[in-house]
Amino acid sequence: DAGITQSPRYKITETGRQVTLMCHQTWSHSYMFWYRQDLGHGLRLIYYSAAADITDKGEVPDGYVVSRSKTENFPLTLESATRSQTSVYFCASSSDRVQPQHFGDGTRLSIL
Amino acid sequence: GESVGLHLPTLSVQEGDNSIINCAYSNSASDYFIWYKQESGKGPQFIIDIRSNMDKRQGQRVTVLLNKTVKHLSLQIAATQPGDSAVYFCAESRNFNKFYFGSGTKLNVKP
C-alpha cells in the first residue's frame, strides 16, 4: 500500500552525537517536508524540498541538515544533537504545493 | 512567524452532538487553510481545506467556515462520534508556501 514511512519510530541518543531520521514516500510526490512538534508550539517547519536536489529552509532550520538525492527519500540529519532537539519529528509529502500534505507517523527523538 | 491559534485548548462533547472547533489567524494575506486531525501516536491526517475565495466548504460530516473579516476559521463536526476524539489543528499559508500550524485543540467525545 502506498504511503509515507518514517524510521526509526523511536530513538534515544546523547548530546553531540549525529543522528539521521529517515523518510520514504511511495507516491512520487514532488514536495517533501520536515516538521518538529513540541508541546505548546504545534508543528514547525524545519526544511522542505520542492524536488530532488532542491531544498530550502523553513522556520527552524538551525542544527539540521537535509538532502534529497532521490525523489522518494528525504533524510533529516542532526549533525551534533542537543537537548533542545528532543521532539517528535514528522515528515510529510504533497504532489504539489497547492495540495494538502500527507504525514508520516513520526519519530520520537530523545536526546540525553 | 505567523500566528495561528485556537480559542479552546480542550473541548468535551457528548456523542451525537455537534462539535465546533475554532481557530484565529493573524495574517490577513493568508489564502489557504487546512484542518488536520491527529490521533495519539500518529501523524496529522488531512480533513478538509478551504481557499480564501470561499467562506464555506462541506465534506462528509465536516464543514469549514472562513470569516476573513475577523480572521477566524472554524471546523464543525456533525453527530460527533467516539472515533472523532483527537487533536485538531488548523494551518494557514500565503501563496501556498510555508504552512503555519496552530497548537491544537483536543476533542473529547463522551459516550
- Residues in B closer than 8 angstroms to A59, CB to CB, are 1, 98, 100
Mean pLDDT computed over A3-26: 97
Kindly determine whether residue A44 and residue B101, on different chains, have CB atoms separated by under 8 Å: yes
Kindly determine whether residue A43 and residue B89, on different chains, have CB atoms separated by under 8 Å: yes
Confidence class for position B7, pLDDT limits 50, 70, 90: very low
Q: Does pLDDT of B18 surpass 90?
A: yes
Quote the DSSP letter at residue B35. E
How far does the CA of residue A94 sit from the closest CA of chain B (Å)? 11
Quote the DSSP letter at residue A73. B
Please give the interface size between A and B, counted as residue pairs whose CB atoms are below 8 Å apart.
Answer: 46
Q: For the segment A33-67, what is each residue's pLDDT rounded down to a tens digit?
A: 999 998 767 899 999 999 999 999 998 999 999 99
Computed on alpha carbons and rounded to an integer, the radius of gyration of chain B in Å comes to 13
Instruction: Quote the CA–CA distance of A48 and A31 in Å, as a whole number.
Output: 7
Mean pLDDT computed over A14-31: 96
Confidence class for position B6, pLDDT limits 50, 70, 90: very low
Mean pLDDT computed over B9-35: 92
Chain A, nearest residue to B2 by Cα: A59
Q: Does pLDDT of B40 surpass 50?
A: yes
Which of A58, A90, A104 shows the shortest C-beta gap to B98? A58
In sequence order, what DSSP letters do the residues of A1-64 get, joined into one string?
---EEEE-SEEEE-TT--EEEEEEESS--SEEEEEEEETTTEEEEEEEEEETTEEEE-SS-TTE
CA dist A109 to A13, B45, B64, Å? Answer: 8, 21, 34
- Residues in B closer than 8 angstroms to A56, CB to CB, are none
Phi first, then psi: what are they for B27, rounded to 5°? -95, 110
Beta-bridge partner residues of A49: A32, A55
Angle, vertex CA A40, rays to CA A33 and CA A106, nearest 5: 35
